[in-house]
């Protein structure tokens, strides 16, 4: 992530590069992944990023990041040099690595469907902040959020669709967590 920050400030200068850098959901989501990976090494108990609900929300975010990149953005973004490696890490390596970590190490017995609305707060706050910043600056980090170019009549349905996608994936994670442990045992299958 530091390499991506270096690339951002190199292209736009320190102030603008910092704003652009933190304007990407990909960066924020990967920062959450890094926080979750580093949480076990922090001092004290009851760490926020070790909570199963928080870890699951992050799994949803990073999965959305990967899917949205591959379906909507991959054809628009062709990095070279260091940017190619950063893109590989943020969109191809970290998402499956974190999902594997979730599958293997996150306690799932207390995950509830009632937690899902809380998991939607971060992406909805991001969308709101992005639209507000874009209205003031004219800069939107993703084309599907570009109200300046496409108008709110197209962008708000995009946000609604993405919110539904977050909701669907969140329900999927909770649903997987509720499967009987024996159904997930190696060699058993789900059928």
Q: How many domains does the chain divide into? A: 1
Q: Is residue 190 in a domain?
A: no
Q: Is residue 104 in a domain?
A: yes
Q: Is residue 143 in a domain?
A: yes
Sequence-distant (≥ 6) Cβ neighbours of residue 54 within 8 angstroms = 36, 48
Q: Is residue 189 in a domain?
A: no
Enclosing domain of residue 163: 2-184
Q: Is residue 55 in a domain?
A: yes
Contact criterion met (CB below 8 Å) for 18 and 1? no
Q: Tell me, what's the pLDDT at 185?
A: 56
* Structure tokens belonging to residue 2: 């530091």
Q: Is residue 83 in a domain?
A: yes
**Cα end-to-end distance, the chain, whole Å:** 41
pLDDT in tens, 143-181: 999 999 999 999 999 999 999 999 999 999 999 999 987
CB atoms within 10 A of CB 181: 9
Contact criterion met (CB below 8 Å) for 55 and 49? yes
Q: Is residue 111 in a domain?
A: yes
Q: Tell me, what's the pLDDT at 145?
A: 98
pLDDT in tens, 92-144: 999 999 999 999 999 999 999 999 999 999 999 999 999 999 999 999 999 99
Q: Is residue 191 in a domain?
A: no
């Amino acid at each position: 992530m530091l390499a991506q920050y270096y690339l951002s400030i190199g292209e736009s200068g320190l102030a603008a590069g910092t704003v652009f850098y933190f304007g990407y959901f990909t960066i924020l989501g990967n920062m959450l992944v890094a926080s979750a990976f580093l949480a076990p090494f922090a001092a004290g108990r009851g760490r926020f990023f070790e909570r199963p609900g928080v870890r699951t929300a992050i799994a949803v975010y990073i999965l959305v990041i990967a899917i949205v990149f591959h379906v909507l953005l991959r054809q628009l973004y062709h990095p070279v040099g260091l940017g190619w490696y950063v893109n590989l890490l943020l969109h191809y390596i970290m998402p499956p690595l974190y999902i594997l970590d979730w599958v293997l190490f996150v306690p799932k017995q207390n995950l509830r469907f009632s937690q899902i609305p809380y998991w939607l707060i971060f992406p909805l706050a991001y969308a709101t902040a992005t639209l507000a910043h874009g209205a003031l600056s004219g800069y939107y980090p993703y084309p599907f959020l570009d109200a300046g170019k496409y108008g709110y009549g197209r962008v708000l349905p995009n946000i609604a669709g993405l919110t539904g996608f977050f909701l669907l994936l969140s329900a999927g994670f909770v649903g997987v967590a509720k499967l009987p442990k024996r159904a997930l045992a190696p060699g058993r299958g789900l059928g």
